């Protein structure tokens, strides 16, 4: 089973970033672009952009984020175990620790799925260090007036996946039972090739809201599934799920940024078949991000933008990066 598929021009190393021993994949030389993956993914979700950005004259660095795959303390067995070790302050702190370790004062941060809120908040917290934000699939939403999980529970109930993820051990065990089936289901079910997803049925699990494909879509290969399975073999799903278990804690910790806009230049991209923009709509994004350069909606694309539409995403990213000067 492949842990690190060989990609032309892409190298791997471990970097001491604060308290973490962070695994990164990187390519190219030039201005720094940090690529933050989502759930349940890894550095590998940026496999197409690493080479494209390098060819365009940028230093592209895609880490496994906190709790994911090969990133952890010096001894992986001691990876952060407490749920409270996965707050937005920790996650953005890891970005700046990585920049420090690379000897860079400033960078552009790109994020997909959960990586997008980390990128947005990096720009919110430290605009002096973030040249720009590229966010895929998840638009910026300023801090609201009520804790998010309580709000989701009252409006959508226990059948919404973010609520289901709150109980430690439950989703962890479900997703780890057959990782290959998990990745086939999740990567297909919210892609542009899927008929769609539903709420979790009573007594069911997260995977019951989606389905496995009869055959993999053209953008996703068996080798891709094997790569993700291999990367999750040791670390599992608990660290990634702990990100969700801090949503209310993040709300509590970010009171100083209540309704605050993101003031750095930004690019937003999403697929028009992505269920995420159905409940986190990008309407009004320009008000919350005054220096938004473009908001691009890709027809027929689902949630996995940079994997489903790699050439279009790379082209838009490179155009935005070159526009920063």
Q: Which helix (H) or strand (E) holds 271?
A: strand 266-271
Look at residue 276 in the predicted model and tell me its pLDDT.
94
Structural domains present in the chain:
11-323 (3.40.50.1820)
Chain-wide mean pLDDT for the chain? 95
DSSP for 199-214 reads PPPTT--GGGGS---S
Set 113, 172, 224, 274: catalytic member: 113
Q: What is the mean pLDDT of residues 120-126?
A: 98
Set 23, 112, 121, 303: catalytic member: 303
Q: Specify the residue for token string 């320009």.
A: 286
- Over residues 55-79, the pLDDT tens digits come to 999 999 999 999 999 997 655 545 6
Q: Which helix (H) or strand (E) holds 226?
A: helix 222-232
Max Cα-Cα span within the chain = 53
Phi, psi of 35 (to 5 degrees): -110, 115
The least confident of 20-34, 167-181, 215-229, 273-287 is 273-287
- For residue 36, name the pLDDT band (cuts at 50, 70, 90): very high
Look at residue 108 in the predicted model and tell me its pLDDT.
98
Look at residue 19 in the predicted model and tell me its pLDDT.
87
- Over residues 5-24, the pLDDT tens digits come to 889 999 999 999 998 999 99
Look at residue 73 in the predicted model and tell me its pLDDT.
61
Look at residue 76 in the predicted model and tell me its pLDDT.
52
Look at residue 2 in the predicted model and tell me its pLDDT.
55
> Is the pLDDT reported for residue 136 higher than 70?
yes
**CB burial string 233-253: b at 16+ within 10 A, e below:** eebbbbbbbbbbbbbebbbee
d(CA 321, CA 325): 7
Q: Is 113 a catalytic residue?
A: yes
**Two tokens, residue 112:** 């997909």
- For residue 279, name the pLDDT band (cuts at 50, 70, 90): confident
Looking only at the bridges linking them, the beta strands covering 11-17 and 292-298 are: unpaired
- Residue 295 pairs with which residues in a beta bridge? 268
Please state, as a whole number, how many other Cβ atoms lie within 10 Å of the Cβ of residue 185.
22
Look at residue 217 in the predicted model and tell me its pLDDT.
97
Q: What is the pTM of this model?
A: 0.96
d(CA 207, CA 172): 12
Look at residue 74 in the predicted model and tell me its pLDDT.
55
Task: Decide if 111 contacts 135 (C-beta within 8 A).
Answer: yes
Look at residue 239 in the predicted model and tell me its pLDDT.
94
Task: Decide if 137 contacts 113 (C-beta within 8 A).
Answer: yes
d(CA 12, CA 255): 38
Percent of the chain predicted with pLDDT > 70? 97
The least confident of 54-63, 73-82, 199-208, 288-297 is 73-82
Look at residue 301 in the predicted model and tell me its pLDDT.
98
Q: What is the mean pLDDT of residues 308-325?
A: 97
> Is the pLDDT reported for residue 325 higher than 80?
no
Look at residue 157 in the predicted model and tell me its pLDDT.
87
């Amino acid at each position: 089973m492949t842990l690190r598929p060989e990609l032309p021009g892409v190298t791997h190393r471990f970097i001491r970033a604060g308290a973490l021993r962070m695994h990164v994949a990187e390519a190219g030389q030039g201005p720094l672009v940090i690529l933050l993956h989502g759930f349940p993914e890894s550095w590998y979700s940026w496999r197409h952009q690493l080479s494209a950005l390098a060819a365009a004259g940028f230093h592209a660095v895609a880490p496994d984020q906190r709790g994911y795959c090969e990133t952890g303390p010096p001894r992986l067995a001691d990876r952060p175990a407490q749920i409270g070790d996965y707050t937005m302050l920790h996650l953005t702190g890891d970005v700046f620790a990585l920049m420090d370790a690379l000897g860079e004062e400033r960078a552009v941060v790109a994020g997909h799925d959960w990586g997008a809120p980390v990128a947005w908040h990096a720009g919110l917290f430290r605009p002096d260090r973030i040249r720009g934000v590229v966010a895929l699939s998840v638009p910026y939403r300023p801090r609201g007036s009520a804790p998010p999980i309580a709000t989701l529970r009252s409006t959508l109930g226990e059948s919404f996946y973010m609520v289901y993820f709150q109980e430690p051990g439950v989703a962890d065990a479900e997703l780890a039972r057959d990782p290959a089936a998990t990745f086939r289901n999740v990567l297909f079910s919210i892609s542009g090739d899927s008929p769609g997803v539903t709420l979790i049925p009573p007594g069911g699990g997260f995977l019951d809201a989606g389905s496995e494909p009869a055959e993999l879509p053209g953008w996703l290969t068996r080798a891709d599934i094997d790569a993700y399975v291999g990367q999750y073999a040791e670390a599992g799903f608990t660290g990634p799920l702990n990100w969700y278990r801090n949503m209310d804690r993040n709300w509590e910790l970010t009171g100083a940024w209540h309704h605050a806009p993101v003031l750095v230049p930004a690019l937003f991209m999403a697929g028009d078949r992505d269920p995420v923009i159905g409940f986190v709509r990008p309407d009004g994004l320009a008000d919350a991000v005054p220096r938004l350069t473009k908001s691009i909606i890709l027809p027929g694309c689902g949630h996995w933008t940079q994997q489903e539409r790699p050439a279009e995403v790379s082209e838009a990213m490179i155009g935005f990066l070159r526009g920063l000067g």
